[in-house]
Structure 1
Amino acid sequence: MNQIFDFLFSQYANSSTLDISLEIIAVFFGFLSVWCSKKNNIWVFPTGMISTSIFVYLLLKWGLLGDMMINGYYFAMSVYGWYIWTRKVDASHVTPISRTTSKEKKISILIFFATLIFVYAVYTYFDKWNNWTAYVDTVTTAVFFVGMWLMARRKIENWIYWIIGDLISVPLYWYKGFTFTSIQYFFFIFIAILGYIAWKKNIDNNKSTL
């Protein structure tokens, strides 16, 4: 039993109680946020803002700039998404779940490559190309940037980006030594799959009622 515990949590031996507690709180609200998103519930944004604000602090402290930028971007997109999700498209309906348009697909590609260039510039400026994880971090940042933008616009394709990013993040965070965060992304994979199924059902049901 002790060997299993050491395998999972030995990397926290030199971490402060405050940092460990903050990571657990951030993970909890992260779970809550993704679950609310799966349920198409507006609370996805306030809970997500709590999680991301804590992670911005922790990731800055840990020197993980790409991850920090992801969470800072999440916070900004949460404000934007909160507005989009509550904006009425007519007198009685708010923005519905839908599929991406051709224009939005082009914007998604633009966001992806613009993010790659931006993160590359940041890592170069701070001389952070000292580990292979920096290259993986750059790609996951771009993937998550697109996913968050699509989620804020209530597009079903956001779940595909989350699934891809989560699959990469599980081993990445484990390697970096952040067990709780790695476990969080592991469960995010399943929630994202369920989220895609739920949102697709929502779109199909709306089509049948037209």
Structure 2
Amino acid sequence: MNPIFDWFFQQYQNVPTHIVILEIAGVSFGLLSAWFSKQDNILIYPTGILSTAIFVYILWFYDLLGDLVINAYYFSMSIYGWYIWTRKVDAEHYTPITKTTSKEKQISIFIFVGTLIFIYVIYEIFDKWDSWTAYVDTLTTAIFFVAMWLLARKKLENWTFLLVGNVISLPLYFYKGLIFTSFQFLLFVIISIYGYRAWKKNLNKPETSLLN
């Protein structure tokens, strides 16, 4: 067999079959959610919630506590975002894509710093500072917390935070042996770039449909 395939499947040699299956399913729903996000389509939320539920279990299995909290947080942000996205600004139009205000930038900083402190406390409580991945995990958690809040608010800048978080997460999951997930983050990087461009074209334009 090709050495690349040998190496690839060797990463899953000691991984339970159900974890591999769940990872593939979670990645699939995650990619669908990211694509719907780029399209500014409300289906981002049901597909994202399914992916989130799967990865909460997988991340608990791999002791990636920060990213586990990300997914739990994403669930609550999905409910909030679902409400914001479906809220009408008038009789025919839904909430448009906009840029962050000064107040929202301040809130973003508060979320970022607050998350760093929160995840630090979690790792301290569970004594999980046993690898450099814990420090990277803490940083990406803070980045994604801000990104998810901005996404729920339909703010253009969410793509910038997502791009940075995805770039950092790609090697992290590759190192952890979650190859399918690292490939997902590679695609997320590409989607983040195109998502920013697509949203920028529709900036400040109220929409009449959520299923574009």
Superposition TM-score tier, normalisation by shorter sequence:
over 0.9
Q: What residue number does 1:179 align with?
A: 179
What is the DSSP-based 3-state SS (H/G/I as helix, E as strand, rest coil) of the residue aligned with 2:89?
coil
**Aligned runs of 1:129-140 on 2, under 5 Å?**
129-140=129-140
In structure 2, give the amino acid aligned to 1:114.
Answer: G
Could you list the per-position Cα deviations for residues 53-73 of structure 1 after superposition, in whole angstroms to 9, with x for gaps in the alignment? 000011112211111111111
Q: What residue number does 1:196 align with?
A: 196
In structure 1, give the amino acid aligned to 2:8.
Answer: L
CA contact (8 A) 1:99 1:157 kept: yes
1:2 equivalenced with 2:2 (yes/no): yes
Structure 2 unmatched ranges of 5 or more: 207-212
**Aligned runs of 1:21-170 on 2, under 5 Å?**
21-170=21-170
Query: Which TM-score applies when normalising by structure 2?
Result: 0.95
What is the DSSP-based 3-state SS (H/G/I as helix, E as strand, rest coil) of the residue aligned with 1:40?
coil
The alpha carbon displacement at 1:8 in A equals 2.1
How many angstroms apart in 1 are the aligned matches of 2:103 and 2:196? 21
Query: Which TM-score applies when normalising by structure 1?
Result: 0.95
The alpha carbon displacement at 1:9 in A equals 2.8
CA contact (8 A) 1:9 1:179 kept: no
The alpha carbon displacement at 1:107 in A equals 0.2
The alpha carbon displacement at 1:7 in A equals 2.2
How many angstroms apart in 1 are the aligned matches of 2:198 and 2:31? 17
CA RMSD of aligned residues (A): 1.2
Structure 1 unmatched ranges of 5 or more: none
The higher-RCO structure (CA 8 Å, 6+ apart) is 2
How many angstroms apart in 2 are the aligned matches of 1:156 and 1:8? 36
Deviates more, 1:61-70 or 1:171-180: 61-70
Aligned length: 206
Deviates more, 1:32-41 or 1:66-75: 66-75
How many angstroms apart in 1 are the aligned matches of 2:104 and 2:9? 42
In structure 1, give the amino acid aligned to 2:126.
Answer: F
User: After TM superposition, what 4+ stretches of structure 1 lie above 4 angstroms from structure 2?
Assistant: none
In structure 2, give the amino acid aligned to 1:154.
Answer: K
The alpha carbon displacement at 1:6 in A equals 2.4
Could you list the per-position Cα deviations for residues 10-64 of structure 1 after superposition, in whole angstroms to 9, with x for gaps in the alignment? 1210112111011000000000000000000000000000000000011112211
How many angstroms apart in 2 are the aligned matches of 1:11 and 1:101? 45
The alpha carbon displacement at 1:2 in A equals 2.9
